[in-house]
Amino acid sequence: MGALAEIVGTATWEALPPSKRPGHILLTSTMGMSDCAGYAAVVADAGTVHHPVGSDAPVPLFQIDGVRELRDGHILAATPRTGVVRVLYRPESRHNVLFATEMCNSNCLMCSQPPKNHDDREALLERNLAVLRLIQDHPPQLTITGGEPTLLDDGLTSLLSVIRDRLPNTHVHVLTNGRRFAERHFVQQVAGVRHPDVTWAVPLYADVPWIHDHVVQSDGAFAETLRGLHNLALWKQRVEIRAVLQAHTIKRLSKLAEFVQRNLTFAEHVAFMGLEHTGFAVGNLPELWSDPADYQRELQQAATLLANAGMSVSIYNLQLCVLDRSLWPFARRSISDWKNVYDSACSNCAVVSNCCGFFEWNLKKHSRVFGPIASTA
Amino acid sequence: MESNGTVVSFDRSQFSQDALQRAAYWFTTDWDIEFVPLSDESPITNVVLRARNDRSSRMTGEIAVEFRQAVLDAQIRLQIGRETSGVRELILAKAFAEAGVLEPGEQ
Amino acid sequence: MSAVPTRPLTLPFFRDRHFRDRGEFHPAGSGYSLLPFRFLRSDDRECLVNECGEYLLVPLGTAARIVHRQIDCESGLYADLCAKQFISDGRYKTDIDLLATKVRSKRRAALRPTQLHIFVLTLRCDHSCHYCQVSRQSTASHEFDMDEQTANRAIDVMLESPAQHLTVELQGGEPTLVPQRIEQIITAVKERASVSGRSLSFVVTTNLANLTPDLLTLFRNESVHVSTSLDGPAFIHNANRPRPGANSHDLACEGINRCIAELGPGSVSALMTTTQLSLRHPVEIVNEYVRRSLHTIFLRPLSPYGFATKTAARTGYFGTQYLAFFKAALDRIIDVNLSGYSLTEIYSRILLTKLLTPVGTGYVDLQSPAGAGFGVLVYNYDGDVYLSDEGRMLAEMGDKTMRIGNVRDHSRRDLLRSSRFSEMVEAWCNESLPGCSDCAFQLYCGADPVFNYATQGDIVGHRPTNEFCKRNMAIISHLLNLIETGGDDVRRILWSWVVPKAPAHDPELVQT
């Protein structure tokens, strides 16, 4: 049953000789299923008429919309039970992600990937290891996210070890709440992998526990996260601090910056992130929404304080038109290339090529100062 | 009581001798300071301040307020010290312990 | 190579995804505990400073209200006090961990064994500076030169210090009058220190009037840093620092140029000593530094030692006048920076490092435990060892109280066990000095028992009249004020003195 739960393979539009077919998924927009034995699966266009496959060639067939968006080299996961085909890896993208689990020990008010209580760790670990086996190129970076990746326990150590061995030049960026790193033996275990290039990106939402704990909906989270961060530093791990810009965090943003500067000096980078209007953020938007036009002063104070102190600072997910010009040096093209879109108004903007654009789900609600910039003169 | 002195009275149950002395220390450049407890039974201590130079002679009007404020501050400091001496020792012990506080390397 | 996650999780993490509102996460409130802190009252506000040197400016009376549990736990002030560890909202553990880490970072620099070793190569000098702290001898008499044997013995004592990094400062009189000694010491130290794998820095303190090509070559080959005096434009410099020919300023400037040209721009730094004449010209002095392409300036007050005391009438020892001069000079320095020329004031940088960053500094004159004897040792031309340069200057005035021994007779261990040193220890931590023990600026300041002895007659000193105290309190207050009210540009500049390097930027930097 395990073998058929999910099929992971590398997409190919080109027909392959039989010896090369294992581990590959044939893509087709026409129907010519006569010679597909040996492929892991076939993915065809949903609108085409289906010819019956020979009874002695049981290759799973999937029919989906948008097969034409798939490319050679994409690594796909196809689930026979549901007929769903997912793209797990794109060699042409700079922003590939390994999804570790949907479970999480926090429940952030604005979580863009709402957690579920189903233990999917084993299945996803298998999937991710399968992907890693199939990667042929040398991606500059891989992000591990979830849910909460540290819930993988030994699985996280395995994942990092495999990446270390198979992709020695790939930087690994792990998005984690850091709370499990309060347990020293766990940090020791993970640090023991000795991966040469890992950064742990940990969110911190306030300089005081009651605000942070409220945002992540978990008592004691602030204390745990801080202890985790300090343990990471003890074990010489590289750390990045993230703060999502929403009403609860904006109020004391510059104090948060000062807190990071004084207490988390070892952090190599601080990222301020515009709110994603997806997941839990949608339901909680009334309490979370703050127009970027209204918090530029706070953001400026926070970013400048950290930059003055010699820390590397970035602003993610905020368009250049909503940012004060003094903050443009911190703005990054942060939205994954396969996720970002622009508003139709952006085609008239003088700086669109430097702007991160939008998440699709953010197009519905704009800042009151959103709009194309005529010129940078 | 001698002339030329400003008297500031303190209730010993509220202000310790330690606080009075610490406060007085900062006034010794310009003032002669004398502590005069009224009696063994009385909780009142009088502090007499006599101007020593031209500058302080001009300040005899304000000195009582200033000195009282200094004693209040000193008393607060002592209280902070009392309440925090234990945790301070803990912090310093942890700070200088051989292991466990941001030392590089494994445990 | 698959591994099944072994740790059983207590599921579900969240029974339902119902969101708890802000009111369910609240500060502990009136049950808060105090963490150690000090405070200082000024005219219009209080400055609170916590156990690791973080400060908070608050309205008058806040310290008392904190102690009397009158702070509203829903207020921004309450959150500030918790975040900066002035009070603990009941979660002691996190606070203690954070404070312990930061205290250690702060104190680390001060606890290193002796790093700075000053060798007085000769008392001879061609200048007769009014404020000179060394008895001048004519340039002919060699009896006041350090001989080779003494130098070697001093090196022996120095190398007994366990410090991983040693800074060797060659001074005088005028050390370039004995170039052979400079060469000998540098060569011997390099050879002998390499055995224990220690890193070295060499500094030569010189008036640059006798800079030969050979010396420049030596400095270049050995990466020697040159420290010189530039008191300002010629009319001030020459008035302060007479020499035959009255051309000290010309020679100093020529020397600075040659050093910059042949040793590199960062190879030479200058400091100025303030005299009565200097007091009237802060702007001109700063401008002179810019004119000479120098990027650091050290606004040093007149020290109360040596000739300063003897010629007090001419130089004068002053308090408030110096402060006014310092502020005016600092204003001018900031303006220079605002116009795009990088100029760091060194004394401010030391204090700003203590005020703004989690780390301490190694500057020996602002340390607790005092730098004297602990951070620095001075080996005089005759082998006598002093706790600090100021201690040596006292000896030149006839008071050998600060002499702790002689390199010919004593090892480093002997010296640090001398009765003089032990007495000094009584007064070298400002935590236990009257006046300092309660001071809010304790962590920014230091103890200077030698200064106290020289100016007030005992190593403890009388704080209310102590010039070291007055000067530092005023300068620290002034810097705090600048940080808080100076504006974004001023803050950026002050920070740039503390953190000179810009952070590395991501290659995806947005171009505007």
Task: For residue range B8-57, list pLDDT tens digits in order.
Answer: 999 989 999 999 999 999 999 999 999 987 777 888 999 999 998 888 88
Take residue C348 and report the two structure tokens written for it. 């401010």
Number of domains in chain C: 3
Identify whether the C-beta of residue A365 lies closer than 8 Å to the C-beta of residue A322. no
Element spanning A222, H or E: helix A221-234
**Span A209-260, pLDDT tens digits:** 999 999 999 999 999 999 999 999 999 999 999 999 999 999 999 999 999 9
CA distance C460 to chain B (A): 14
Report chain A residues whose CB lies below 8 A from the CB of B103: 234
**Structural domain ending residue among the three candidates C56, C84, C108:** C108
DSSP A313-341: EEEES--GGGS-GGGGGGB---S-TTTEE
Confidence (pLDDT) at C10: 65
Examine the domain organization and report whether C365 and C459 are in the same domain.
no
**Structural domain ending residue among the three candidates C421, C445, C465:** C421
Rounded to whole angstroms, how far apart are CA atoms C280 and C322? 10
Examine the domain organization and report whether C103 and C119 are in the same domain.
no
Element spanning C451, H or E: helix C449-456
Beta pairing, strands C376-379 & C384-386: antiparallel
Q: List the single residue in A with minimal CA-CA distance to C21.
A: A214
Examine the domain organization and report whether C252 and C275 are in the same domain.
yes
Band of residue A53 on the pLDDT scale cut at 50, 70, 90: low
CB contact under 8 A, A329 and C512: yes
Residues of B with CB under 8 A from a CB of C: 22, 25-29, 69, 72-74, 76-77, 79-81, 83-84, 87-88, 90-92, 94-96, 101-102
Mean pLDDT of A324-335: 93
> Of C2, C19, C505, which is closest to A284 when you measure between CB atoms?
C19
Report chain B residues whose CB lies below 8 A from the CB of C67: 76, 79-80, 83
**Span C270-324, pLDDT tens digits:** 999 888 899 999 999 999 999 999 999 999 877 666 444 444 444 444 678 889 9
How many A-C residue pairs are in contact by the CB < 8 A criterion? 154
* C435 touching B (Cβ < 8 Å): yes
* C112 touching B (Cβ < 8 Å): no
Report chain A residues whose CB lies below 8 A from the CB of B106: 188, 191, 235
Give the residue from A231, A234, A264 with the most B CB atoms within 10 Å of its CB, the best one to mutate: A234
Examine the domain organization and report whether C329 and C454 are in the same domain.
no
CA distance A376 to chain C (A): 7
In a domain, B31, yes or no: yes
Report chain C residues whose CB lies below 8 A from the CB of B73: 39, 41, 63-64
Q: List the single residue in B with minimal CA-CA distance to A264.
A: B102
Judge whether residue C261 has pLDDT over 80: yes
β-bridge mates for residue A172, sequence order: A142, A198
Judge whether residue C86 has pLDDT over 60: yes
> Of B72, B81, B90, which is closest to C96 when you measure between CB atoms?
B90
In a domain, C20, yes or no: no
One-letter amino acid of C105: S
What are the residues whose beta carbons fall under 8 Å from the beta carbon of A136, sequence distance 6 or more?
Answer: A10, A73, A91
In a domain, C460, yes or no: yes
**Higher per-residue pLDDT: A319 or C397:** A319
Mean pLDDT of A22-43: 83
In a domain, B101, yes or no: no
Report chain C residues whose CB lies below 8 A from the CB of B22: 438
CB contact under 8 A, B88 and C92: no
Examine the domain organization and report whether C190 and C293 are in the same domain.
yes
One-letter amino acid of A370: F
Side-chain half-sphere of A62: how many Cα atoms within 13 Å? 27
* C58 touching B (Cβ < 8 Å): no
In a domain, C99, yes or no: yes
Here the CATH number for the domain that contains residue B79 is 3.30.70
Take residue C12 and report the two structure tokens written for it. 């579900």
Identify whether the C-beta of residue C205 lies closer than 8 Å to the C-beta of residue C170. yes
In a domain, B107, yes or no: no
In a domain, B106, yes or no: no
Q: List the single residue in B with minimal CA-CA distance to C438.
A: B77
- Average pLDDT, rounded, for chain C: 88
Examine the domain organization and report whether C103 and C121 are in the same domain.
no
Judge whether residue C355 has pLDDT over 50: yes
What residue ranges of chain A are covered by domains with CATH 3.20.20.70?
87-336
* B107 touching A (Cβ < 8 Å): yes
What are the residues whose beta carbons fall under 8 Å from the beta carbon of C70, sequence distance 6 or more?
Answer: none
Q: What percent of chain A has pLDDT over 70?
A: 94
Place of tokens 């948008």: A66
Band of residue A277 on the pLDDT scale cut at 50, 70, 90: very high
> Of A184, A230, A236, which is closest to B104 when you measure between CB atoms?
A236
Judge whether residue B103 has pLDDT over 60: no
Beta pairing, strands B31-37 & A238-245: unpaired
State whether CATH 1.10.3470.10 applies to domain A87-336: no
Band of residue C500 on the pLDDT scale cut at 50, 70, 90: low
Examine the domain organization and report whether C122 and C51 are in the same domain.
no
One-letter amino acid of C159: L
CB contact under 8 A, A332 and C495: no
β-bridge mates for residue C405, sequence order: C385
**Structural domain ending residue among the three candidates C64, C88, C108:** C108
pTM: 0.91
Rounded to whole angstroms, how far apart are CA atoms C446 and C143? 37
In a domain, B103, yes or no: no
ipTM of the modeled complex: 0.91
Mean pLDDT of A325-353: 89
DSSP B35-53: EEE--SS--EEEEEEEE-S
- Average pLDDT, rounded, for chain A: 91
In a domain, B22, yes or no: yes
In a domain, C360, yes or no: yes
- Residue C440 phi, psi dihedral angles, 5° rounding: -65, -30
Identify whether the C-beta of residue C309 lies closer than 8 Å to the C-beta of residue C455. no
Identify whether the C-beta of residue A152 lies closer than 8 Å to the C-beta of residue C3. no
Collapse the DSSP code of C124 into the 3-class scheme (helix H, G, I; strand E, B; otherwise coil) and give the result. strand
Band of residue A377 on the pLDDT scale cut at 50, 70, 90: low
Range of the domain at B34: 5-96
Q: Strands, E, within C103-157: which ranges?
A: 116-120
CB contact under 8 A, C54 and A308: no
Rounded to whole angstroms, how far apart are CA atoms C375 and C367? 9
Take residue A132 and report the two structure tokens written for it. 């890693």
CB contact under 8 A, B91 and C99: yes
Mean pLDDT of C500-510: 43
Q: What percent of chain C has pLDDT over 70?
A: 89
Examine the domain organization and report whether C128 and C149 are in the same domain.
yes
Report chain A residues whose CB lies below 8 A from the CB of C83: 207-208, 255, 258-259
Judge whether residue A337 has pLDDT over 90: no
Number of domains in chain B: 1
Q: Strands, E, within C301-369: which ranges?
A: 344-345
Q: How many CB atoms lie within 10 A of CB A348?
A: 11
Confidence (pLDDT) at C310: 46
Rounded to whole angstroms, how far apart are CA atoms C322 and C316? 11
Range of the domain at C454: 430-482
